[in-house]
Amino acid sequence: MLNGLQPWHLIVLVLIVVLLFGAKRLPDAARSIGKSMKIFKAETKDLRDGDSAESHDARQLPASTAQPQNTDQQVAELQRQLDELKKQQEQSQKHAS
């Protein structure tokens, strides 16, 4: 009776995941997994392209990284975003309790 995954196996698996993580956290988790996969694919492509073309040390940094401008403003903006994320996380933890 080992015929692989049946459709009802997937339904049970989805129900268990929803019960464990909650419906509100699933979109955020899926979004973060998608971003991670996108970054992973880009990095592996860069590694393949870089090995055949030139070494990774010879690559130039993007203009935004090579010459940062208005670093104080950037730091303030990043700090503001971090504070907002912390507030959202606290709210989601309160709702989960």
59 in a structural domain: no
1 in a structural domain: no
Distance CA 43, CA 37 (A): 10
Task: Give the domain range for residue 91.
Answer: 7-48+69-95
- Check if the beta carbon of residue 68 is closer than 8 Å to that of residue 74: yes
Distance CA 28, CA 91 (A): 14
79 in a structural domain: yes
Helices and strands, counts by H and E, the chain: 4, 0
How many other C-beta atoms lie within 10 A of the C-beta of residue 22? 13
Give every residue of the chain whose pLDDT is below 70, as ranges.
1-3, 52-69, 97
Q: Can you read off the two tokens belonging to residue 21? A: 């993580």
Q: Can you read off the two tokens belonging to residue 37? A: 């996969």
54 in a structural domain: no
Query: What pTM did the predictor assign?
Result: 0.36
- Check if the beta carbon of residue 23 is closer than 8 Å to that of residue 32: no
Number of domains in the chain: 1
Q: What pLDDT, on the 0 to 100 scale, is given for residue 1?
A: 47
